[in-house]
Amino acid sequence: MNGNKPFLHKPAEFRSRFTQRIAEHSRVAYLPLPKSDLLVLMVIDEMLVTADALKLKNSVFQQLKSNADHAGTIHSSGLDDIEVWRLKKTPGKLSVPDVAFQVWEARKLLGKNSPMASHIAPNHVLVASPNYHSCPFGPPEVPPSGIGTPGLGDGGDVHVTVIDSGFVTGGPIDGRVCYDFGYWFTRDTTAPGGYAWVQEPMVYPNTANPLDQNDDCELDALVGHANFVAGVIAQGCPTATIDIVSHNGSFVENDSGGVPDTPITTEASVAKSLYDVLTRPNPPDLVNVGFAFPTLPVNAKLGLPNGPPSWSFRSVLDRTKDSRTLIVAPAGNQNTTVKQYPAAMHETFPNRVIGVGSVHRHDNGFVKSHFSNHGGWVACCTSGEDVVSAFVTWSGPTEEAETSGPDTGTRPKKDFQDWAMWDGTSFAAPKVVAAIAKRMSAPAGIVAGVPASPLAAWNGVKQGKPSPADLNMGILLGALPPT
């Protein structure tokens, strides 16, 4: 199903107007996964294909190549580069997303056991939207009165990069972070294939208010998400130096109205940002990737919701195998065991990727947060509820995450003064980042004046912690600060 054709039905995942706008975008296709509360979102006309596969005489890849334009390369390592190709036309099926049909047909022709079947995938759309892909569960709330202003520290030797959405200036985190922006594709007739990577703007053309870019008098759903995550890290480890790579394309509006020509945050664009961060001359010790997305199953018609591991993230990790940087990611908020990426890369890269679920204290112990995803692919869990962190100043309604009963179109007014309280695995993950960073910089973690490696610090953080079988979320870290 896709936005330039009538909806066959509107799934339960459309709990917010924001989520529905994403699915209705003319360049987004979506597929409800059977037996789950999930959608797979994809760019309707973009494919991820390995450069080596395109050299083969296989008719599938040759057909794709003749029916598409080269749009960009995620990384150029000289080892089976991953390329993005934009289809010139799509099959036009109504029952499934056009791009999904193209993938299924290609995999069917290749055969399910063919090694080349893993060399073709859709370019998934990544949205850090409420109770949906990634990671707040519900809207931000005004903190209760009486909570003191959190301290954000001054930074230090341990370096953390946050790859996320929704960063805006003008809040309390400004003095603690450096920031940059992620990528999106734009038409460029001078570039090979007619497309080029460009960096996203903070505020899109023809918009006046970065907090309300679609001019509906409501705080946009993702505004302040990256600010909030960075604030959690700064509170938990005041000596961490933090930089943010923000993919603000998650503010996407339908091209036919609202914000025109808005970038879409995709798997390819976030993977490219991660690759660039990991291959810097001085890469960070830790990266917090604030997205969680399911991948397209090889055959969703059979009711098998788990798709293959994110091909682009796996490729980036393979190409940076000597990196000591640890990647931490939220497990997502759909209360499902369906694997979400990049968190589920922990299964393949247990010493490189940490997926984080959420718990809350109950009686004398901890129970799973009702929204948290779970399963053997989740490495650890900590409290992701009622987290207070840096936000924006805004007085008015916000885009709510869910509606109970008919949507009347009205939203309660909220008065944010630089700080907010929020729930989600999005805010459990940076607590783990902060705990690792704090251990690296603590006296016990410094040897001969040099901080411990991120992996050594992580092993120290989790040492002796239980793995309760009933939680099904790996190591229980309890309630890490900030609380």
Q: pLDDT tier at 404 (50, 70, 90 boundaries)?
A: very low
| pLDDT the model gives residue 405 | 42
> Residue 461's Cα: distance from chain center in Å?
24
- pLDDT, one tens digit per residue, over 327-337 is 999 999 888 89
As a whole number of Å, the CA-based R_g of the chain is: 21
Closest CA to 420 of 230, 163, 228: 228
Cα(215)–Cα(259) distance, rounded to whole angstroms? 9
Closest CA to 173 of 243, 115, 261: 243
Query: Does the pLDDT value for residue 478 go beyond 50?
Result: yes
What the block records as the tokens of 5 is 């054709």
Cα(226)–Cα(89) distance, rounded to whole angstroms? 36
Query: Does the pLDDT value for residue 284 go beyond 70?
Result: yes
| pLDDT the model gives residue 9 | 43
- 154 against 104, higher pLDDT: 154
Cα(471)–Cα(441) distance, rounded to whole angstroms? 30
Report the mean per-residue pLDDT for the chain. 83
- Alpha helix positions (H), 331-390: none
| pLDDT the model gives residue 5 | 37
Closest CA to 359 of 335, 324, 389, 340: 335
| pLDDT the model gives residue 355 | 98
Q: pLDDT tier at 475 (50, 70, 90 boundaries)?
A: very high
| pLDDT the model gives residue 408 | 57
Cα(40)–Cα(310) distance, rounded to whole angstroms? 12
What the block records as the tokens of 367 is 């129970």
Closest CA to 436 of 237, 244, 274: 237
Closest CA to 52 of 119, 123, 122: 119
Bridge partners (DSSP) listed for residue 42: 29, 124
Query: Does the pLDDT value for residue 243 go beyond 80?
Result: yes
Distances from the Cα of 452 to the Cα of 383, 445, 446, 465, angstroms: 25, 5, 6, 20
What the block records as the tokens of 39 is 């959608």
Number of other CB atoms surrounding residue 414 within 10 Å: 16
In percent, how much of the chain has pLDDT > 70?
Answer: 82
Q: pLDDT tier at 2 (50, 70, 90 boundaries)?
A: very low
Closest CA to 53 of 92, 18, 81, 23: 81
- For β-strands 446-447 and 450-451, DSSP reports them as antiparallel
Closest CA to 45 of 6, 9, 76, 2: 2
State the DSSP code for 151. Answer: P
- 176 against 257, higher pLDDT: 176
Bridge partners (DSSP) listed for residue 361: 366
Query: Does the pLDDT value for residue 91 go beyond 70?
Result: no
- For β-strands 326-330 and 365-368, DSSP reports them as unpaired
> Mean pLDDT lowest for which of 50-54, 154-158, 233-237, 416-420?
50-54
Beta strands of 214-348 (E only): which ranges? 240-246, 286-289, 326-330
> Residue 220's Cα: distance from chain center in Å?
17
Q: pLDDT tier at 407 (50, 70, 90 boundaries)?
A: low
Amino acid in position 64: L
The string over 426-449, giving b where at least 16 C-beta atoms fall within 10 Å of a residue's C-beta and e elsewhere, is bbbbbbbbbbbbbbbbeeebeeee
Cα(201)–Cα(249) distance, rounded to whole angstroms? 9
Cα(332)–Cα(396) distance, rounded to whole angstroms? 28
In percent, how much of the chain has pLDDT > 90?
Answer: 45
| pLDDT the model gives residue 201 | 81
- pLDDT, one tens digit per residue, over 357-394 is 999 998 889 999 998 999 999 999 999 999 999 999 99
Which 3 state secondary structure label does DSSP give 358? Answer: strand
Cα(129)–Cα(115) distance, rounded to whole angstroms? 34
Bridge partners (DSSP) listed for residue 341: 293
Q: State the DSSP string of 96-119.
A: S-HHHHHHHHHHHHH-TT-GGGGG
Distances from the Cα of 407 to the Cα of 213, 380, 403, 457, angstroms: 22, 36, 6, 47
pTM, entire model = 0.92
> Mean pLDDT lowest for which of 17-26, 114-123, 160-169?
17-26
